[in-house]
Amino acid sequence: MIEATIATLIIAVTLAITFIIGVLAYRLRIKVLRVDTYMVAGRALGFIVTFLNMAAVIYSGFAFLGASGWAYAYGAPVLYIWIYGALAYTFAFFFAPRIWETAKGQGLLTQADFFMWRYGSRLLMVLTALVGITFNIPYGQLQILTTKYVLDLSTYGALPTLHVAVVSFVVVMIYVFLGGMVSVAITNVFLGAIMLAAMLGGGLSLIFYYYGGLPGLFAAVEAASPKHAYLWAAVGRNSVQWVITAAVGCGLGFWVWPQLAQMVFPARDAKVLRRSITMTSWYHVLGILWASLTGLVALGLGMKLAVADHAFLALIRDTFGPVALGFIGAAGMAAALSSAAGIILTQASLLSRNIYQGWIKPGASEKEVILVSRLGIVIFTVISVILAYTAPAYIVYLLLVGYTGITQMFPGWVLGSVWKWITKEGVLAGLIAGLVMGVLTCFIWPDYLGVHSIIWGLMFNLPITLVVSRITYRGG
């Protein structure tokens, strides 16, 4: 019981500090609440805040639980996570400053704003806003469930963890409701920092404690399960072609997620943004790599886990006791809730800015847009909580197709910002074809021939976008 009290206390204090920072950010940093302050922090964020805000939103509970769980369950295919992150940061280094300049010059606040400005199409704007909102719905719910898993282990089963996870989620949404991006970004400095410390410190300490380094770890893995050390020849999730297509697909789709677009816009200038992306690439190799390797540590030790995603926390609990578990658990909760904050704020921004102001009531005032944003935060919080309790089966399907669906906006978002001859007709036709193909290769023929469904979607989406754009482009 004393172990549960210690770990729970550390997690509760972390949550309390987060809440205080979030509310103080709102009270002290916001003089006049405007729409651009609420959605993109007035494009005034410096390097440290931009960097850690980006990292905290990118690395969700998956970084803590999912990556190590993947390594434990599958072994070498987890390398696709290492690879796609690295690919995504090199891409963003060149792409993000370009999109930031456009957003600053045109006063864009959301990703769907870009589609309206670039293609002059309200239909495309509303469609991309709906795609962004819909495919993010399961991710809000997932963060609550991740928090629950963290609490399940951290509290040694002493608390009703789903209720506590929901309360933690609602506490975070209170400061998101009040201060919008300002509160999200400033709290994420705190949360992003403890996440990195936990992933690097927890991962390295476990590897060195048990095996004295990577050679010892891999010797133990190969002794316990040789197939985990390399990719299997068979077609499927563990095949070479799956890792290649998953890494390329996720690398391309990474910056298409609307919440990541919205983490780019608040930077003070393009130089700050580039510096932040460079540092986030360091965050990737110092954080998730070592967190994911803890799955191999568990495998090498011969741990029998009922839930693979428990690997990291179970190891910390069994090795270093309740104080370490409290800190790592707090960081796991931080990862889930910081991503949830970014996701819910983005969904609310798409709702108010693009569905309400862009479509339903074009003449809406700033005050109205902020009001609808706040209403959106309440709505999406309630939806996430209901889904966390009911966990309907269809939400799993939405989650499976999420990355594939979002990535189908790649041609319109990226190619459209580079080539002026990409047209709305081309983007719309490609988007529809890509979504249909993505859904088919997710559910009817899952990852057909071992090729990830993102790539199947893009194989239809890209040529259709290019050909239709060429046909419909009229110059000027």
Partner 1 sequence: MSRKTVTERKFMVATAVVWFMLSIVLPIINRPNVHIAGIPLLWFWVLIWVFVVPVLLTLAYYMLEVKP
Rounded to an integer, what distance in angstroms lies between the CA atom of residue 89 and that of residue 80?
Answer: 14
Q: Is the separation of the CB atoms in 471 and 265 below 8 Å? A: no
How many chain residues touch partner 1 (CB under 8 A)?
Answer: 38
- Tell me if 214 contacts partner 1 by CB under 8 A: yes
Rounded to an integer, what distance in angstroms lies between the CA atom of residue 440 and that of residue 456?
Answer: 9
Owner of token pair 């996870």: 165
459's enclosing H/E stretch is: helix 453-472
- Tell me if 48 contacts partner 1 by CB under 8 A: no
Q: How far is the CB of 216 from partner 1 (least distance, A)?
A: 8
Q: How far is the CB of 448 from partner 1 (least distance, A)?
A: 19
Q: How far is the CB of 447 from partner 1 (least distance, A)?
A: 15
Rounded to an integer, what distance in angstroms lies between the CA atom of residue 341 and that of residue 143?
Answer: 10
Instruction: Count Cβ atoms below 10 Å from residue 362 Cβ, excluding itself.
Output: 9
Q: Is the separation of the CB atoms in 281 and 94 below 8 Å? A: no
Q: How far is the CB of 225 from partner 1 (least distance, A)?
A: 12
- Tell me if 23 contacts partner 1 by CB under 8 A: no
- For partner 1, the binding residue among 11, 76, 153, 385 (CB under 8 A) is 76
Q: Which stretch binds partner 1 (CB under 8 A): 105-113, 167-175, 238-246, 340-348?
A: 238-246
**Considering only residues 281-300, where is the footprint of partner 1 by CB under 8 A?**
281-282, 284-285, 289
Instruction: Count Cβ atoms below 10 Å from residue 397 Cβ, excluding itself.
Output: 14
**Considering only residues 243-282, where is the footprint of partner 1 by CB under 8 A?**
243-244, 247-248, 251, 271, 274-275, 277-278, 281-282
Nearest to 50 by CA among 271, 243, 213: 271
- Tell me if 235 contacts partner 1 by CB under 8 A: no
- For partner 1, the binding residue among 240, 305, 439, 459 (CB under 8 A) is 240
- Tell me if 137 contacts partner 1 by CB under 8 A: no
Rounded to an integer, what distance in angstroms lies between the CA atom of residue 422 and that of residue 364?
Answer: 31
Nearest to 5 by CA among 146, 158, 147: 158
Q: Is the separation of the CB atoms in 462 and 438 below 8 Å? A: no
Structure letter (DSSP) for residue 236? S
- Tell me if 87 contacts partner 1 by CB under 8 A: yes
- For partner 1, the binding residue among 6, 12, 24, 82 (CB under 8 A) is 82
Of 81 and 331, CB closest to partner 1: 81
3-class SS of residue 422: coil
Q: How far is the CB of 49 from partner 1 (least distance, A)?
A: 18
- Tell me if 52 contacts partner 1 by CB under 8 A: no
Residue type, 453: S
Interface contacts to partner 1, rule CB under 8 A: 76, 79, 82-83, 85-87, 89-91, 93-94, 214-216, 218-219, 222, 226, 229-231, 240, 243-244, 247-248, 251, 271, 274-275, 277-278, 281-282, 284-285, 289
